[in-house]
């Protein structure tokens, strides 16, 4: 029974990873439109845990792959085995992951709220008061007076975005630099998979681009940043 349950958990992890990683078809076999999940293009706690554990346990992961005849989906099986053997590690990761997702969602909601406000402020036109002309007795020469035009300055747009910067990113015993948004708690938001060598904290040569499966594309072109 334990073996059957373990296999079912592994199968569920593999299916969830495959479904979240592949775009899928927009039509069913019968030709009807397929319902698009609101999770399309987004990661899950299990998929992110798999990436994290394969990086942290890179040596054990490589040794595990060496024992397999078929290497396909080896990272999914390795992560499922580790989660089963260390449930407390996954529970802690999942709680932290959910808290980070909630925090990121709040940031996105604030941006959605601020952007229309910035646009509305930027669209406010400059108001100019029309000159006021008055006259005195008709037999005398008319005396014209005008009040100084009143203008309203446009409020400068609010800066809602936070610039990216190169932050330390560790893989195994190596430290690289990666583009992201800094967080005080150390859990930075990564905005790019490109990696640069770190020379005592300074930007070195371009190393490659980190893929979703944890491997590094050494032939990726260096972006401008």
Least confident of 56-60, 106-110, 112-116, 125-129: 125-129
Is the pLDDT at 96 greater than 90? The verdict is: yes
Q: Is residue 196 part of a domain?
A: yes
Q: Is residue 30 part of a domain?
A: no
Q: How many domains does the chain have?
A: 1
Q: Is residue 142 part of a domain?
A: no
The pLDDT of 79-95, averaged and rounded, is 90
Size of the chain, expressed as the number of residues it contains? 225
The pLDDT of residue 151: 36
For residue 41, is it left (φ>0), alpha (ψ between -120 and 50) or beta? left
The pLDDT of residue 125: 62
Q: Is residue 173 part of a domain?
A: yes
The pLDDT of residue 29: 55
Domain that holds residue 180: 165-217
Phi, psi for residue 178 in degrees, rounded to 5:
-140, 145
Residue closest to 196 by CA, chosen among 174, 213, 212 = 174
Q: Is residue 24 part of a domain?
A: no
Is the pLDDT at 62 greater than 60? The verdict is: yes
Mean predicted lDDT score pLDDT of the chain: 74
How far is 106 from 169, CA to CA, in rounded Å? 25
Q: Is residue 7 part of a domain?
A: no
> Residue 162 CB: number of other CB atoms within 10 A?
11
Q: Is residue 207 part of a domain?
A: yes
Tokens 């037999």 identify what position? 139
The pLDDT of residue 147: 40
The pLDDT of 187-205, averaged and rounded, is 86
The model's pTM is 0.35
Q: What digits encode the pLDDT tens for the residues 119-178?
A: 666 665 665 555 555 555 556 555 444 444 343 343 444 444 667 888 888 888 888 888
Q: Is residue 1 part of a domain?
A: no
């Amino acid at each position: 029974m334990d073996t059957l349950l373990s296999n079912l958990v592994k199968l569920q992890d593999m299916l969830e990873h495959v479904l979240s990683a592949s775009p899928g078809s927009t039509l069913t076999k019968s030709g009807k439109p397929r319902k698009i999940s609101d999770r399309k293009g987004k990661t899950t706690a299990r998929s992110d845990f798999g990436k994290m554990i394969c990086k942290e346990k890179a040596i054990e992961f490589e040794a595990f792959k060496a024992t397999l005849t078929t290497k396909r989906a080896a990272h999914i099986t390795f992560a499922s085995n580790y989660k089963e053997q260390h449930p407390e590690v996954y529970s802690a990761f999942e709680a932290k992951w959910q808290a980070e997702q909630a925090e990121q969602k709040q940031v996105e909601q604030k941006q959605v709220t601020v952007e229309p406000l910035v646009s509305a402020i930027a669209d406010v036109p400059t108001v100019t008061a029309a000159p006021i002309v008055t006259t005195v007795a008709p037999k005398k020469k008319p005396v014209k007076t005008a009040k100084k035009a009143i203008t309203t300055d446009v409020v400068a747009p609010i800066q809602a975005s936070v610039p990216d910067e190169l932050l330390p990113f560790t893989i195994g015993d190596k430290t690289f630099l990666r583009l992201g948004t800094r967080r005080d708690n150390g859990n930075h938001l990564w905005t790019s998979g490109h990696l640069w060598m770190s020379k005592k904290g300074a930007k070195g040569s371009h190393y490659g681009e980190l893929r979703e499966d944890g491997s590094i594309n050494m032939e990726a072109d260096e972006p401008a940043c």
